[in-house]
Structure 1
Amino acid sequence: MAEGREAAERYRSRVRGCLLGGAVGDALGAPVEFRTLDGIRAEHGPAGVRDYAGGTAPGYGRITDDTQMTLWTVEGLIRARNGDRGPGFDPVPAVHDAYLRWYRTQCSREPVWEPSGWLQGRAWLYARRAPGNTCLGALGEAGNGAQGRGERAANDSKGCGGVMRSAPFGLLPAGHGDDDVFDWAERAAGLTHGHPTGSLASGALALLVRRLVEGDELDAALDAVLAALARRPGHEETTRALEAARAAAGGGAVSAETVESLGGGWVAEEALAIAVYAALAHPGPEEFADALALSVTHSGDSDSTGAVCGNILGALHGETALPPLLAPWVEGRGDLLELADDLVWAFAPGSGPLRASPRWLERYPAD
């Protein structure tokens, strides 16, 4: 019984660590997105971005659309669980509906209608933090009926807007298979990003998180991801990017220049590769801040690469390893951890009575 409690607490810590770690990485990288590496070093020093403020104070970390959409992914998964009617569980349509709720928050400064569920009623999530045009365009078309529920977007984008929100699929408990987790994340990314690489990189991240939450070390989890990719058509770009990240981590001195050799992070496979490289270069729990700094100190999409790196290391080490000068100061921390716990409870064995309660269904209406 004690072993079971320890496993449950370890799982909860990794769920919370993954989601909060992603938010911390997002907020750390956001102020330097679009900055050159030389400009970042001039302001932050040779060690790169180590705090939100760029000085000695912890500052306050403002999240971006990366964390917003990750939260809506979680909300969609919970609502799919509430509507689960047995065999054939498929969360992607409910996650699509959740993304449409996020889209509506981006079209208004504050809640102006009766919100559907508690998350849509949180005023701070209505801030518009440079959302990706690809996501806005695809979801706007879907909301207007131009794209059916759960259909692949009619574009050829492989931007990082799919992978940066896909980690929550990997947090689903082990009763859902590895292939299911990969496929659901792949399909959910395809709702906004039509290029196969944009989807496959998202499935790869979800599976990587899944294996880490289940207790694999980072190298073993990466082996599982590469094996899963090899079975899927169109995997070559994502596979090459991950193999390059692994080779770079084992090939010499760790540097921001090596990060930039992997790309800018604007497209899905590059964002994933940069995050994986930073995690492999600084894999220990005491190195979490070093990995995040490495993942955001480059001339590219720093918030997305930081978010994905934070997801990975949070899933690997759990909540207690999060940098103590960063984690308490990230925007929306309380709501984020509340949502993480709700995900754990929604999928826990014997959670049926909870999910059938009026208060829970008001909080997460079944989709």
Structure 2
Amino acid sequence: MGATAGAVWGRVEQQDFRSRVRGTLLGAAVGDALGAPVEALTLPRIREAYGPEGLPDLAPAYGRRGAITDLTQLTLFTVDGLIRAQVRRDTGAWHPPTDLHRAYLRWAATQRDWGPDERRKDDGWLAREEWLYARRDPSPVCLLGFADGTMGTLDAPKNPGEAGAEAAARSAPFGLLVGWEPQLVFQLAVECAAQTHGHPTAYLTAGSYAVVVHALARGESMDAAVQKALVLLAARPGHQPVTEALQQALAAVRTGPPSPALVEELADPGTADRLLAVAVYCALVGEDVRQGLCLSVNHSGPSKAAGALTGGLLGALHGETALPPAWLAELEGRPTLLVLADDFALEMTQGPALHSPNGAVPGWLARYPRG
């Protein structure tokens, strides 16, 4: 693992990488879908509705079981943006934050328009997926961040007071850039988070989460992955809340059996750093993926973001085969998720063969235009 774009990947490496890419994207989506029905409920209300153990399974939201929300929509467009950034690299006009911003603007169009506009030839295939035009309570912070087409930067971030977890919850794909150095993964996730969430707690949480996913996708342990994030955080102004949240998550693991009360404590007050702590804790203490995900959504905070963050970690750690098959069978948009995951894995391992300056596959450039 850790091969660069120009390196030779062995078959076993490619299969492992594809499994972790699929696991990360499907895991985040399943966690999002699991948390969606209880997003607005306190823990007492969750128990009143689903029993003393809380929500144990997928439940209806938006008229069906397994429905994803805006968090998964944005994660898909993050992947799309990363693939297109790699494709554009051949042109010499390479600035990944700009390519990601363009992708997020395509997502914003899905929240305004009735359906795909076939006249926009440069939109690529993902923006033509009609099911993505459903509005699933999109975050006002994200809608505002992408409303005027101006890209937020670290020097001039959008919504500088916003410390929520929506930006972090779309950042798992940055961690799948396994050929990049961790500090570059951190920086890209931070810059892209600042396009909607300008508070240091929010964008540093996004960077930290991406680095943890990055280490897991390279085959490292959860503890080692968190330590890498802590090292990179230490050099960043405003890191203290995120650092303390990660340290509290690690300490909570040593306090006894998994506890909803501990999750409730870690999650409060629902900011990005706190939900990252929930995700790390639940990924560490869950006996399996199902238990870890259920633990992550049964609290009074933002359940869908906590579930998405946890699912991304567990998927990167264990790969797709560890995810509950019954949940995957009901997951909305699963075919699209799988195609995009496999395209991402293909781009990262075989990109030069798809669009080098000396030759290109026309079908690939139609799917991921350079424009």
- Fold shared per TM-score above 0.5: yes
Contact 1:289 1:323 in 2 (8 A): yes
Q: Would you say 1:277 and 2:284 are equivalent positions?
A: no
Counterpart in 1 of 2:137?
130
Tell me how far 1:260 sits from its aligned partner. 1.0
Distance 1:109 1:266, change over 3 A: farther
CA distance in 2, matches of 1:88, 1:236: 36
Superposed, 1:17-56 pairs within 5 Å as 17-53=23-59
Counterpart in 2 of 1:192?
196
Tell me how far 1:353 sits from its aligned partner. 3.2
Tell me how far 1:48 sits from its aligned partner. 2.5
CA distance in 2, matches of 1:86, 1:158: 36
Percent identical: 46
Counterpart in 1 of 2:21?
15
Contact 2:222 2:284 in 1 (8 A): yes
Alignment equivalent of 1:215, drawn from 219, 223, 228: 219
Q: How many residues are aligned here?
A: 356
Consecutive unaligned residues in structure 1, runs of 5 or more:
none
Counterpart in 2 of 1:65?
70
Counterpart in 2 of 1:339?
340
Consecutive unaligned residues in structure 2, runs of 5 or more:
1-8
Distance 1:198 1:340, change over 3 A: same
CA distance in 2, matches of 1:140, 1:291: 36
Contact 2:23 2:319 in 1 (8 A): yes
Alignment equivalent of 1:251, drawn from 252, 255, 275: 255
CA distance in 2, matches of 1:127, 1:361: 27
- Residues 106-152 of structure 1 deviation map (CA, whole Å, 9 limit, x = unaligned): 012322443410011001000001111111111102x2x58689963
Contact 2:201 2:239 in 1 (8 A): yes
Contact 1:79 1:366 in 2 (8 A): yes
Structure 1 range deviating more: 271-280 or 39-48 = 39-48
Tell me how far 1:317 sits from its aligned partner. 0.1
CA distance in 2, matches of 1:89, 1:112: 26
Alignment equivalent of 1:114, drawn from 114, 119, 124: 119
Counterpart residue type for residue 198 of structure 1: A
- Residues 304-349 of structure 1 deviation map (CA, whole Å, 9 limit, x = unaligned): 1000000000000000000122112100000001001111111214
CA distance in 1, matches of 2:153, 2:199: 18
Tell me how far 1:90 sits from its aligned partner. 3.5
Counterpart in 2 of 1:329?
330
CA distance in 2, matches of 1:160, 1:149: 17
Alignment equivalent of 1:140, drawn from 140, 144, 147: 147
Tell me how far 1:190 sits from its aligned partner. 0.5
Q: C-alpha root-mean-square deviation of aligned residues, in Å?
A: 2.2
Contact 2:101 2:151 in 1 (8 A): no
Structure 1 range deviating more: 41-50 or 191-200 = 41-50
Counterpart in 1 of 2:264?
260
Counterpart residue type for residue 171 of structure 2: S
TM-score normalised per structure 2: 0.91
Q: Would you say 1:164 and 2:169 are equivalent positions?
A: yes
Contact 1:74 1:339 in 2 (8 A): yes
CA distance in 2, matches of 1:252, 1:146: 45
Contact 1:93 1:150 in 2 (8 A): no
Structure 1 range deviating more: 85-94 or 356-365 = 85-94
CA distance in 2, matches of 1:103, 1:314: 27
CA distance in 2, matches of 1:44, 1:149: 42
Counterpart residue type for residue 37 of structure 2: P
Contact 1:62 1:331 in 2 (8 A): yes
Counterpart residue type for residue 8 of structure 1: Q
Tell me how far 1:161 sits from its aligned partner. 1.4
Tell me how far 1:292 sits from its aligned partner. 0.2
Aligned-partner SS, 1:193: coil
- Residues 248-267 of structure 1 deviation map (CA, whole Å, 9 limit, x = unaligned): 12112311111111124732
Contact 1:265 1:305 in 2 (8 A): no
Distance 1:148 1:186, change over 3 A: closer
- Residues 251-289 of structure 1 deviation map (CA, whole Å, 9 limit, x = unaligned): 12311111111124732111111111111111x5xx100
Contact 1:265 1:272 in 2 (8 A): no
TM-score normalised per structure 1: 0.92
